[in-house]
Amino acid sequence: MKLYYATGTCSLSPHIILRELGAKFELERVDLTTKQTERGEDFLAISPRGHVAALSLDNGEVLTEGAAIALHLGEGTNLVPPPRTMERRRLHELLIYIAAELHPAFGPLLHPATPDGDAKARAKMFCHLDYVESLLADRRPYLLGNKLSVADFYLFAVARWAGRLDIDLNRWPRLMHFMLRINERPSVQAALAAEMAAGM
């Protein structure tokens, strides 16, 4: 397998999952401005929308969309609950929420065209972070309770962007503790170190 990624994006999530599972894989960094990979490949020929992450499978197929990649990688492991269980449905619910609502809410604040400190965008973002905080209100260590799942790594990758926006997560103490807990995992530290070493 080969993971196409860009530092500072949600492709961190499948990168962590690959390391968490001890999978054998290659990393290929993508320049999202030029749409070229570090080895000179045309990334648009690999992923026509030009978005990371993209996972090239051993059979030549390419899978895109972080949530889909996470489910694929976690299938049959303890990071994804068994099919036809309520726990599995909750995982789908969480992944769809993160992908469709939380992730896009950061866009207006991270995009250069958005005025710094845009009040409406920040208010929307804070509502989402309030909701995430409520999911952890019973002091559960992970989104599904006591079981770590691929959704935890997706949330971690997206919520890290708060730091780039000078949003202090201490306002959401349960989320903050969640972030610290996930950050301590060796797989997370290894993925962050590898991406930092790539220098992009």
Q: Give the tens place of pLDDT for each residue, 22-45.
A: 999 999 999 999 999 999 999 999
Tokens of residue 109, six digits: 């604040």
Tokens of residue 159, six digits: 């919520």
Record: fold of 2-77+187-198: Glutaredoxin (3.40.30)
Q: Would the pTM count as exceeding 0.85?
A: yes
Q: Give the tens place of pLDDT for each residue, 148-176.
A: 999 999 999 999 999 998 899 999 999 99
CA angle 186, 130, 153 (to 5 degrees): 20
Confidence (pLDDT) at 112 = 60
Whose tokens are 């059979």? That residue is 59
Q: Is the omega angle on the peptide bond into residue 53 within 30 degrees of 0, that is, cis?
A: yes
Q: Indicate the domain borders of the chain.
A: 2-77+187-198, 86-185
Tokens of residue 43, six digits: 């990334």
Q: Distance of CA 140 to CAs 15, 23, 134, 147, 177, Å?
A: 24, 28, 11, 9, 11
Confidence (pLDDT) at 200 = 46
Selected from 1.20.1050.10, 3.40.50.620, 3.40.980.10, 3.40.50.300, the CATH number assigned to the domain covering 86-185 reads 1.20.1050.10
pLDDT band at 117 (very low <50, low <70, confident <90, very high): low
Cβ distance 160 to 167 under 8 Å?
Answer: no
